[in-house]
Amino acid sequence: MIGHHTALIYVMVLASAADTDITDAEMRRISHMISNLPVFAGFEMDNLRQTAAACIDLLQDEDGLEKAFERIIALLPRKLRETAYALACDVVAADGEVHQEELRFLEMARHRLEVDRLIAAGIERGARARFARPQPADLEAE
């Protein structure tokens, strides 16, 4: 398996697990992104469960989150760090609810991945726009 695939999947799994609840919507989003984004070309979907499980197992270790980020940074080319942050934002936004723990994770990821604050703000805004859901009052205004 290609190293950057592992790193990107780890980022998505960590984003999903940040609020201690990996939802079906988040896992569907992860599977969909892996199946459709060019950055995952060549990834065998059969490896997803094993890679996600390895990340979750790592989190059980003392300093597991730190170890996971060390692995991500070691495997991820610098040019894909913004991509990793964008994927994390999409996973967090996928279920329509953003919890404080997820926001803290995104802040940590931004720092660890060294994503510029303005670039991160644009990525976050794009995720909010992609996953926006109309409210009943919004539909009545049309």
Instruction: Give the separation between CA 35 and CA 42, rounded to whole angstroms.
Output: 10
Q: Which domain holds residue 79?
A: 3-141
Q: How many domains does the chain have?
A: 1
The 10s digit of each residue's pLDDT in 14-26 is 999 998 878 787 8
Strands (E), 26-93: none
Residue 130's Cβ-count burial label (10 Å; 0-12, 13-18, 19+) is exposed
Q: What is the overall mean pLDDT for the chain? A: 90
* Helix, strand or coil, per DSSP, at residue 37: coil
Q: Is the pTM of this model over 0.85?
A: yes
Residue 16 belongs to domain with CATH number: 1.10.3680.10
Write out pLDDT tens, residues 67-106: 999 999 999 999 999 999 999 999 998 877 788 999 999 9
CB-CB contact of 39 with 4 (8 Å)? yes
pLDDT at 57: 92
| pLDDT interval class at 28 (50, 70, 90) | confident
The DSSP call for residue 78 is G
pLDDT of 136 > 90? The answer is: no
